[in-house]
Structure 1
């Protein structure tokens, strides 16, 4: 950082001036790649176009094309304006630090089923984490059909190999930018923690599985990632061809013709044509599926924190999944394992509640167990958590526990910025949020070679040989922390075996 008082940064591409919020400097809307427009649509991100003079970085860049109302309803708030020119990132850092401060770096990948979201949403504001001594980066990346596109017309265009997961390539380009530039903001380019929730958590797992993600980050936090298999190349190609036919393009349209399709039309294509909630398997970014990679423990060997929430099944309503019908279908089809599954949920009698818990554990909880086992085989530390806190004023609204995404304002210590909890948060809720954020930044500061324990209200040891522990963050929806051994272990062991037969959106 060139001055401790004026947030002006000199990058290889030009100068930036940010803003100052008390003790935090913020730079918004920093380009990390060239606009992916025109002939650059459906190509790997290209280098930033340099600029003259001092660029004012005081507002967020445009979000990727998406459905604004759906983002406001379920994905974190108002994403603002849309543009195909969406490859921007934002940085929060302590203002009174020098360029050689070497602070831990936390890079956030937003969720939203790979079709929604933006790094500029209010819950992701990085001030509170920066006040804990971190440099925080949030990233926009291409979404939907503009970010994940496997049409045969693109075949052979990329000399590096088949490329379909352009949104993941954007995330990789942002991580290259961080390695190259973050020291100028006071961050340590050799202590980068990549973290994300839902599709953001799934992105973190994908980059741990991708050969292109090697060496770009040092630790990973995975929040509420899911066990759905990546989409096959065959299904993705069929979906993309159906989408362009739906938009009026001929079946034999070449790439140049497809690149002239309006971005808003591609965004509005909707289900079943659009992308989500998983990337595509089989290109140079994901040569094999993420799940197969972790099952075989072939992921990059970096330390991981991973966990999920107590009512993750809440998100399944978005995909039109009737939880009771999942149990009824298993009974009707006489699927292997229903009797054993019932034994693992003693006291649960009705199909709706059984479906809620089984879908939660099969699609979310088991992911933490799989990753923990893979980390153990790669001999790297893994911390597991289970988030079950609901603010006192929201317990009627969330009677079954913490919904999908409800942990985010606690991780960022941003209750005041996150509706609806901002209207009812009490002092005790804010204290609890501060404790959760402390754990996340403790992980960001942690380095290999240190004792595998994170300090907080409860000392949190990593899982290891003979220790399969989970930190319960919130106990029965109330404040508290509890270490639990063999947490849902029998369920996770079973679901690891049978989930391929049960976990799908079909």
Structure 2
């Protein structure tokens, strides 16, 4: 029964009080680990101490320190209050006493590992929960607080047990919390799906490769992960030393580093900025993500992976000149330039650079991963998102931007319009969102290592090299679902060869 007395639940850490959102139960700002402050900065997340009485879970938890304006402009909204005390999660559930445990979907937000929060409007779990799943969103440490290496900190660990990827350890701690507590919220701890976009998607791929994440989730949905190589630990150590010197700390001690104010890190740019990828070589990620998937040593779990038709839109924010890349290729590697131009049949350098950058940075990784899944006997599904809201098609001439699929996955188009002053979604947009989210829900509910086809308006077969099928959500910005055979196959082969020759695997 759904009544007020069910708003109180007992977790392993203590009793919590949530709220109702129509007929859904919502719990906000639940701590999943101790605050990583003071002596706990740059340490693995520690267990949360039990509390006495009832803890209210009706307000969002703090977000990690970041650039508020940047998050509002490109990250999906205002992340709220900033604090180093930021390890909180949120839960939407349709029933805390279901007849059988409900599938759990855990969202890992994107933002280049430097911005974002699980509380942002596009990530509202109300619609998905209303379709019979338990939705979890979470915050984790960002920027230098989430990824950092320095000799003084490394010396605190035994040989071979160094930790540098604190953000990924936060995500693992949240998954451990879910394993302990999600049954109290009606969820099935044995059916946990990770889904995430951009750096959230890259996090999922890293967790597929981490020995510390085994047994904590059952499948993953990877939206617009990028193929940038992980940072070598040697380089990360040099970066940490340079950062300490920037703050006047020669031969810094761990205590001196931990006394630096948390708000001093997020504004650092240039060579002092963090990279939007994890650090390879610590306990959590002993081998790079790309090398692990190439070797077929990832966790053997089902996976959906895909990207959008205009992923190059995100490169504009990083000041990457795609036209210059093509012109340099024409001058320095003329044979490759002619081959690229022939394969793409695009004769404008700017448009050609945009397409090639998209495929090198995003599209090629999807083919690498589904091939790796097939090689280890695990199902993988590849998608291509090319839909643009009807009212916005004139503003998106190159296709669907990086992150554009998120409000369709969550079906939060109306909320996104409210916070960004966009035109409201129409009936076609809403129908498209329902179609896309239905596949995500079907995967979370039923997919296993034995699944060959996902149900939906158009049955979606798992990827196989003999068929090379990709499900296109939209085409040319317009709606519809299409199974594409050998989609961009020749381009993907070229991009993967270029990746292999230019990216040194660890």
**Offset at 1:447?**
3.3
Distance 1:31 1:336, change over 3 A: farther
Give 1:449 deviation, angstroms.
6.0
Determine whether 1:445 maps to 2:468: no
CA contact (8 A) 1:3 1:98 kept: no
Counterpart pick for 1:385 among 375, 383, 386: 383
2:154 and 2:277 map into 1 onto residues whose CA distance is: 21
Q: Contact conserved, 1:328 with 1:351, CA < 8 A, in 2?
A: yes
Aligned length: 501
Q: Give the drift of 1:450.
A: 5.3
Cα distance per residue 1:356-415 (max 9 Å; x no partner)? 000001110111100011000110111110000000110111111000000000000100
Structure 2 residue 298 is matched with structure 1 residue 289: no
Secondary structure of the 1:129 match is: helix
2:473 is aligned with 1:473: yes
Please give the alpha-carbon distance, in whole angstroms, between the structure 1 residues aligned to 2:335 and 2:501: 9
1:502 Cα deviation from its structure 2 partner: 5.2
**Alpha-carbon distance in 2 for matches of 1:109, 1:29:** 15
The answer to whether the 8 A contact 2:66-2:142 is kept is yes
Residues 413-452 of structure 1: pairs in structure 2 closer than 5 A? 413-419=411-417, 420=420, 422-448=422-448, 451-452=451-452
Between the aligned partners of 1:401 and 1:169, the Cα distance in structure 2 is 35
Query: Following TM superposition, by how much is the alpha carbon of 1:216 offset from its aligned partner in structure 2, in angstroms?
Result: 1.1
In the alignment, what sits opposite 1:121? Answer: 120
Match of 1:349 in 2: 347
Cα separation, 1, equivalents of 2:450 and 2:292: 28
| 1:415-441 deviation digits (Å, cap 9, x = unpaired) | 011144852311111111111111110
Distance (whole Å) between structure 2 residues aligned to residue 203 and residue 463 of structure 1: 22
Q: Does the 8 Å CA contact 1:307/1:365 hold for their aligned counterparts?
A: yes
- CA distance in structure 1 between the aligned counterparts of 2:76 and 2:243, rounded to whole angstroms: 27
Q: Provide the TM-score with structure 1 as the length reference.
A: 0.96
- Name the CA distance, whole Å, in 2 between partners of 1:202 and 1:417: 26
User: Aligned partners of 1:394, 1:418: CA distance in 2, in Å?
Assistant: 13
Q: Map Cα deviations across residues 297-356 of structure 1 (whole Å, 9 max, x no partner).
A: 11001000000000000000111100101111212222763222222102x101100000
C-alpha distance in 1, partners of 2:273/2:259? Answer: 18
Helix, strand or coil at the partner of 2:359: helix
Question: What residue is the counterpart of 1:37 in the other structure?
Answer: 37
1:204 & 1:192 partners in 2: Cα distance? Answer: 13
Give the equivalent residue in structure 2 for 1:316.
Answer: 315
Once residues 232 and 451 of structure 1 are traced to their aligned partners in structure 2, the CA distance between those partners, rounded to angstroms, is: 37
Match of 1:201 in 2: 201
Query: How far has the Cα of 1:451 moved from its partner?
Result: 4.2
Q: Which residue of 1 aligns with 2:409?
A: 411
Question: Do the aligned partners of residues 34 and 480 (structure 1) sit closer, same or farther apart at CA in structure 2, a change above 3 Å counting?
Answer: same
The 5 A counterparts of 1:16-31 are: 16-31=16-31
Question: Could you say which residue in structure 1 is the equivalent of 2:106?
Answer: 107
| 8 A contact 2:387–2:474 mirrored in 1 | yes
- Are 1:133 and 2:168 an aligned pair? no
Give, in angstroms, the shift of residue 191 of structure 1. 0.4
How far is 1:463 from its partner? 1.0
CA contact (8 A) 1:61 1:86 kept: yes
> Contact between 1:9 and 1:184, CA under 8 Å: does it hold in 2?
yes
> Which is worse superposed, 419-428 or 162-171?
419-428
Q: CA deviation at 1:488?
A: 1.0
- How far the C-alpha of 1:258 sits from its partner, in A, is 0.4
- Preserved contact between residue 99 and residue 184 of structure 1 (Cα < 8 Å): no
> What residue ranges of structure 2 are gaps of 5+ in the alignment?
none
Moved more, 230-239 or 43-52: 230-239
Q: For residues 183-223 of structure 1, what are the alpha-carbon distances to aligned partners after superposition, in whole Å with 9 as ceiling and x for unaligned?
A: 11011000000110000000000000111111111000000
How many Å apart are 1:99 and its aligned residue?
Answer: 5.5
Q: Are the counterparts in 1 of residues 12 and 180 from structure 2 also a CA contact under 8 Å?
A: no
